[in-house]
Amino acid sequence: MHRSFTVAALFALAGCAHSSLVLLPDEDGGHGAVAVLSPDGTGQETVVGEANSRAMLGKGKPTIRPLGAKGLNPREAALIGSLPPPAKSFTLYFVEGTTDMTATSAPRIEEIRTEIAGRPGADVQVTGHTDTVGSGDDNDVLSQKRAEEIMNLLAERGFDRSIMSAVGRGERELQVETEDNVDSPVNRRVEVIVR
Amino acid sequence: MVRGSLYLVSLVTMIASPAAAEIGRIKSAIGTASVQRGSAQLPAKVGQDLLPGDWLETGKDGRISLTFIDNTRFAVGPNSRIALSKFEYDRTTQKGSFVTQVERGSLAVVSGRISKSGRDAMQMRTPTSLLGVRGTRFIIEVPK
């Protein structure tokens, strides 16, 4: 009784006194790092690089401790629980030189519609990708144009235009790595990202 | 004729990018929660778009969750005051910089493309520290 009171009081005290940083594992299992710098960005940095650790921030060097068996406190767990879900990506392929979707891609449209419906306040990024035929600059223009065409197509099929935007990624993000100037139907694609 | 089609082209471009400055959107909001934009106080509503310089504010029962166009995700806890001080992002190259200021309260973050675009391209300011985000999922708490 006494002891738990003391521990609680200590926690409250610690909570009042210091800002804190908790580093968690990534959703895919790995983990990143956060560097603690002085407010003006100069001086020595301290890197918080172990997942499931808590750094108390204040004047001077931060103290870093493992979260331990207790893990997150209920406040922190509630905060993590209220994060929006990760974005979901759908890839569409087209018959060359047309805006006709291939037979295997056509069902994606209804899947995208369902995904949007399940996400309040959804926004949709239509991203065009090219293969490596032609110059990088030309492919930026081409991929942007393709993304805009597909965005118009989606709008015609009843998708809300005000939540969509078009982006051209050119040949920066190949589905399949190739040499330059290689014709690749797999790389010519549009990705629809629902957030 | 040429002028007409030029006009049409620019009109189509405008329609194609209706929210050039939008950096993110609110995905959920409960309790007392608002977006302060300059001198305007906007209610934090689902679907509300966000701009650089916006402040997110919550009362003791308030929570906001949001996503950004680089796929960064935020959850703002109660009693918070947080500024989206700087957000610059090139969606073609996926490079940019992002500075968030946590004046008080709590913030859960899953960082997105900007944090991968360069060392400390994503930074968080607290009253006592400057944090360089090198990935990915973390919580910042700044008591009153």
A21 and B19 within 8 Å at the Cβ level: the answer is: no
Task: Give the pLDDT score at A58.
Answer: 83
Q: Which of A81, A110, A131 is the last residue of a domain?
A: A81
Q: Which of A66, A81, A96 is the last residue of a domain?
A: A81
Cβ atoms of B52 and B98 closer than 8 Å: no
Q: DSSP assignment of chain B, as one string?
A: -HHHHHHHHHHHHHHH-TTTT--EEEEEEESSEEEEETTEEEE--TT-EE-TT-EEEE-TT-EEEEEETTS-EEEE-SS-EEEEEEEEEETTTTEEEEEEEEEEEEEEEE--HHHHSSTT-EEEE-SS-EEEE-SSEEEEEE--
End-to-end CA distance of chain B: 63
B7 within domain boundaries: no
B75 and A17 within 8 Å at the Cβ level: the answer is: no
Cβ atoms of B109 and B123 closer than 8 Å: no
Query: Which band of pLDDT confidence, cut at 50, 70 and 90, is reported for residue B6?
Result: very low
Is B4 in CB contact (< 8 Å) with chain A?
no
Task: Give the pLDDT score at A186.
Answer: 93
Q: Which of A49, A81, A113 is the last residue of a domain?
A: A81
Shared domain check, A77 and A59: yes
Q: At residue A99, what is the residue type?
A: T
Give the pTM.
0.88
Query: Which band of pLDDT confidence, cut at 50, 70 and 90, is reported for residue B1?
Result: very low
CB count within 10 Å of CB A128 equals 26
Q: Which range of residues forms the domain containing residue B43? A: 21-142
Number of domains in chain A: 2
Cβ atoms of A48 and A36 closer than 8 Å: yes
ipTM comes to 0.88
Q: Which range of residues forms the domain containing residue A108? A: 88-194
Task: Give the pLDDT score at A99.
Answer: 80
DSSP A96: T
- How many A/B residue pairs have CB atoms within 8 Å? 172
Shared domain check, A127 and A57: no
Collapsed DSSP state (helix, strand, coil) of residue A112: helix
- Side-chain-side CA neighbours of A90 within 13 Å: the count stands at 21
Residue numbers of B between 89 and 128 with CB closer than 8 Å to A:
91-94, 102, 106-108, 110-111, 115, 120, 125-128
- CATH code for position A126: 3.30.1330.60
Task: Give the pLDDT score at A17.
Answer: 61
Q: pLDDT of A68-90, one tens digit each?
A: 998 999 999 999 999 999 999 99
Cβ atoms of B67 and B49 closer than 8 Å: no
Number of domains in chain B: 1
Kindly report the nearest CA distance between residue B27 and chain A, in angstroms.
Answer: 5
Residue A25 vs residues A1, A86, B66, B109: alpha-carbon distances, Å: 34, 15, 20, 12
Shared domain check, A139 and A52: no
More confident position, A13 or A99: A99
Task: Give the pLDDT score at B118.
Answer: 92
CA B59 from centre of chain: 19
Q: pLDDT of A33-66, one tens digit each?
A: 999 987 777 778 999 999 999 999 987 889 999 9
Query: Which band of pLDDT confidence, cut at 50, 70 and 90, is reported for residue B22?
Result: very high
